[in-house]
Amino acid sequence: MRSEDPPASRRTRAFDGIEVELTNQEKVLFPRDGYTKGDLVDYYARVAPVMLPYMRGRPVTMLRFPDGIDGESFFQKDASPYFPDWLRRVAVGKKGGTVDHVVCDKPADLVYLANLACITPHLWLSREDALDRPDRLILDMDPGKQGFGVVKEAALLARELLSDAGLTSFVMTTGSRGLHVVAPLDRSADFDRVRAFAQAIGEEMVRRDGRLTTERSIEAREGRLLVDTFRNAYAQTGVAPYAVRAKDGAPVAAPLRWEEMEDPRLGPQSFNIRNIWSRLEDDPWKDIDRHAGAVPPR
């Protein structure tokens, strides 16, 4: 049983008429930087107008760090009974029952999760009105012993192969170690078909570049960069655009423009809760849904 915040140090903030109770805002979550839970709440409150369009209608899995990034963490899928009524849920089928996931539609939702020390929300690749039909395909470039230069080259190769298949792709730093290449989909294919297509793209990438692999086990990778296609399955998730990662410096998963890949200064943690703001004036992914395409037939 994990302890909740004690009743001391409570206050409320209003977001579009919804009062959100905030607790222990002075609690330090990022000890090397001094960033507190209040800083996390402030970040998500401010980024909400740009971040929420990527989250609406998607079941959320919460990655929580009640005692900060050096403490125990856990993934939470099911909405707790004490969550407020205004925080919407969606019932998702699983073997033997259902899971009531949170759905983030409004700023108060993001702020409430941040107050739970949910540093990183992870999103389904489908939306609640068609949970079995993904509208995102994700290829995760996860480096082994390779440098970030190889990560960028792998992402560009993925872009080329997806384009050859008729899909437009977008790129994002993960805020951790690699890059995500994301293709918006028109939901004409189910998860099985999308996963098979993603795996075929990954295998072709490996065929063309011996520094890459699709092997899941670390031993089998032998230091090669993993082209991770496994999240393209029902109930799998990807980190939300503009989500904070539980790492020193509070890096952010930042959508990019493809031309930024040419910048030698670019790294997977180049953007954080302090320097992300100028990018939001012209969000690189703002038109992503206008480019939704169909996975080619088998």
Looking at the structure, tell me whether residues 160 and 285 fall in a common domain: yes
Looking at the structure, tell me whether residues 29 and 153 fall in a common domain: no
Helix axes 148-164, 191-208, angle to 10 degrees: 120
Whether 298 maps to a domain, the answer reads: no
Domain carrying residue 110:
10-124
- Residue 76 has φ and ψ, to the nearest 5°, of -125, 120
Looking at the structure, tell me whether residues 249 and 197 fall in a common domain: yes
From CA 60, how far away is CA 212, in angstroms rounded? Answer: 30
Whether 206 maps to a domain, the answer reads: yes
Nearest C-alpha neighbor of 184 from the set 233, 134, 243: 134
Q: What is the CATH number of the domain that holds 142?
A: 3.90.920.10
Give pLDDT tens digits for 69-99: 999 999 999 999 999 999 999 999 888 899 9
Looking at the structure, tell me whether residues 175 and 201 fall in a common domain: yes
**What do you get for the CA distance between the two ends of the chain, in Å?**
48
Whether 5 maps to a domain, the answer reads: no
Whether 296 maps to a domain, the answer reads: no
Mean pLDDT of all residues in 290-296: 97
Reduced to 3 states (helix: H, G, I; strand: E, B; else coil), residue 70 is: coil
- Residue 12 has φ and ψ, to the nearest 5°, of -130, 155
- For the chain, the domain total comes to 2
From CA 56, how far away is CA 7, in angstroms rounded? Answer: 31
Predicted pLDDT of residue 9: 64
* Segments of the chain assigned E as strands: 10-15, 18-23, 28-30, 35-36, 59-64, 74-76, 89-94, 97-103, 118-124, 136-142, 170-173, 179-184, 212-213, 225-228, 237-239, 255-256
From CA 235, how far away is CA 136, in angstroms rounded? Answer: 13
Predicted pLDDT of residue 6: 42
Looking at the structure, tell me whether residues 146 and 257 fall in a common domain: yes
Predicted pLDDT of residue 298: 75
Looking at the structure, tell me whether residues 146 and 280 fall in a common domain: yes
Whether 183 maps to a domain, the answer reads: yes
Mean pLDDT of all residues in 32-37: 98
Picking from 124, 154, 173, the residue at the C-terminal end of a domain is 124
Predicted pLDDT of residue 192: 97
Give pLDDT tens digits for 173-199: 999 999 999 999 999 999 999 999 999
Picking from 103, 124, 145, the residue at the C-terminal end of a domain is 124
Residue 4 has pLDDT above 70, yes or no: no
Give pLDDT tens digits for 120-171: 999 999 999 999 999 999 999 999 788 999 999 999 999 999 999 999 999 9
Looking at the structure, tell me whether residues 22 and 120 fall in a common domain: yes
Per the CB < 8 A criterion, the answer to whether 9 and 41 are in contact is no
Predicted pLDDT of residue 43: 98
Mean pLDDT of all residues in 270-296: 96
Mean pLDDT taken over the chain: 95
Predicted pLDDT of residue 96: 85
Predicted pLDDT of residue 94: 85
From CA 184, how far away is CA 138, in angstroms rounded? Answer: 9
Residue 228 has pLDDT above 90, yes or no: yes
Looking at the structure, tell me whether residues 151 and 283 fall in a common domain: yes
Rounded to two decimals, what is the model's pTM?
0.94
Residue 5 has pLDDT above 50, yes or no: no
Whether 111 maps to a domain, the answer reads: yes
Give pLDDT tens digits for 206-223: 999 999 999 989 899 889
Whether 53 maps to a domain, the answer reads: yes
Whether 244 maps to a domain, the answer reads: yes
Q: What percent of the chain has pLDDT over 70?
A: 97
Q: What percent of the chain has pLDDT over 90?
A: 90
DSSP 224: P
